[in-house]
Amino acid sequence: MKLLTICLAFVAAVFAAQDTPDYEGYHVVYVIPDTEHQVEWLMQLEGKDGIDFLKSTRKVGVAAEIIIPKEQVSSSYKLFSMLEMRYFTVTENAAADLKRNFLMRNDKPRVFDINDFNTFEDILAGLDDFVARCPSGASCTLEDIGNSPQGRPIRLLKITKPGTRKIVWFDSAIHAREWLAPATNLKLLDAIISQQDSNAVSLFNKYDFYFVIVMNPDGYVYSWQDFTTRFWRKNRSPNVGSSCVGTDLNRNYDANWLNDGTSTNPCSDTYGGSSAASEVETQAVQNYLRNIGSNIISLTTIHTTAQMILIPYGHTDANGECAYPSDHQDQLAAANAFADGIENTFGTSWDRGTVCTTIYPASGATMDFAYDTAGIKYSFTPELRGPGFDPPASAIQPSFDEVWNGVVDLMAQIETLEGKQ
């Protein structure tokens, strides 16, 4: 344990938070824990400011994916060796890989493509196309639930049928760089609009569907700006008294704000903002969910990358122990159905459990607000498959295939739990 503490202190000292790294000479490394002790070490390392995990791990034998700044490469490798941790280098110059991918994307004519990653503008155009393809007898409506500080819409697409029906909600891209999340979400939207799949028909016979593809428009646009901004996570609001920009919107909700797993340093990727719901993006979603929460049967807020289905809560109680909601048993049963449905598709392994116990304590997230304040009993955060490092477009289809199966099983399980047939 002493070695662990020394190593963590060492790492905290050598990894410095950088607001806009250039990624020249940065290594991307897979680190594979072989013991519970090593898993614990990696978990603690992930909580440190300035250490960028593209993929989390909580399991022996499952690799974490970390970006290491040039100056810290040799000391980090020494540290991994000292801890007898297996690692291998994915790239020795992240900038070169990111630049190549950026140029390839810029080479493509800009048009909405459901099988590729899309810019914010292309997603807005794509939403218009979906509205034009609305299933017969249904209504497809766009509604801006708010605007970002730079004036971009937080746009919601509602697919409804006449009458009062429960709502199934999906959102994504609150963390700008997690591009596989909006890409997968668009495929879910496409499945509902297309009505080609018998499960999609059956689900839409019962429920209305609401989709927000980009919860953090300014951050998402910034993540497309250049290869050096590809890994931007927060929004783009300036911070008073700091040259560092942005708040982690998924730490900014008025749900045990700043309780745990949130940084008070504006340069940190997990900076929680100046107060609960200080950000206009957060306020917009909070107000909207407060109004319609009682009609939402399930809310899924999609992230990457860890292969997990997370449920409330992220925060800890007065004793520093992970807090559990009173609905935990039902929520866990639903999460198990969701994760099993995913696993049964390609055999990928998915963890399931509360944020605090499964990944790390983290308060002020969309999901906890949705449950605690908007009254949405079934609120989930899937952490999708990898790879975390700028995934290729070929990751989109398998991600959708497995998540879709998970959603089908999830809704069946919720119906069983709520006593509906």
Beta-sheet pairing, 52-55 with 64-68: antiparallel
* In the complex, least distance from residue 288 CB atom to Zn ion, rounded to whole angstroms: 20
Rounded distance, CA 147 to CA 284, Å?
8
DSSP annotation string for 232-287:
--S---B-TT-S-B---GGG-SSSSTTSSS-B--TTSTTB--SSTT-SHHHHHHHH
Q: With respect to Zn ion, which residue has the nearer C-beta, 303 or 377?
A: 303
Taking CB under 5 A as the criterion, which residues in 249-288 touch Zn ion? none
Does residue number 352 form part of the binding site for Zn ion (CB under 5 A)? no
Q: Report the alpha-carbon distance of residue 228 to residue 99 in Å, rounded.
A: 8
CA distance 346 to 412: 20
Q: Is the CB of residue 83 less than 8 Å from the CB of residue 7?
A: yes
Stretch near Zn ion under the rule CB under 5 A, chosen from 32-40, 296-304, 370-378, 399-407: 296-304
CB of 292 to Zn ion, least distance (A): 24
Whichever of 303 and 315 has its CB closer to Zn ion, that residue is 303
State the residue for tokens 């029906």: 165
CB-nearer residue toward Zn ion: 160 or 366:
366
Q: Is residue 55 a contact point for Zn ion (CB under 5 A)?
A: no
Q: For residues 309 and 352, give the distance between their C-alpha atoms in angstroms, rounded to a whole number.
A: 5
- 121 catalytic? Reply is no
- Please count the residues of this chain forming the interface with Zn ion, following the rule CB under 5 A: 2
Distance in Å, CB of 125 to Zn ion, minimum: 25
Min separation Cβ 178 and Zn ion, Å: 5
- Catalytic residue, chosen from 65, 281, 383, 402, is 383
**Cβ nearer to Zn ion, comparing 72 with 235:** 235
Nearer to Zn ion, 236 or 303 (CB): 303
Task: Enumerate long-range contacts of 289-292, CB under 8 Å, 24 or more apart.
Answer: 289/369, 289/370, 289/373, 289/374, 289/376, 290/373, 290/374, 292/167
CA distance 361 to 387: 23
Compute the least distance from the CB of residue 372 to Zn ion, in Å. 19
- Piece in contact with Zn ion (CB under 5 A), picked from 18-26, 108-116, 202-210, 297-305: 297-305
CA 193 → CA 3, 135, 203, 217, 233, distances in Å?
A: 55, 6, 11, 23, 29
Q: Say whether residue 234 binds Zn ion (CB under 5 A).
A: no
Among 58, 303, 377, 385, binds Zn ion (CB under 5 A): 303
Site for Zn ion in 150-189 (CB under 5 A): 175
**385 contributes a contact to Zn ion by CB under 5 A:** no
Cβ 304 to Zn ion shortest distance, Å: 7
Cβ atoms of 23 and 101 closer than 8 Å: no
Nearest to Zn ion of 27, 175 (CB atom) = 175
DSSP 52: E
Q: Which residues contact Zn ion (rule: CB under 5 A)? A: 175, 303
Active site residues: 383
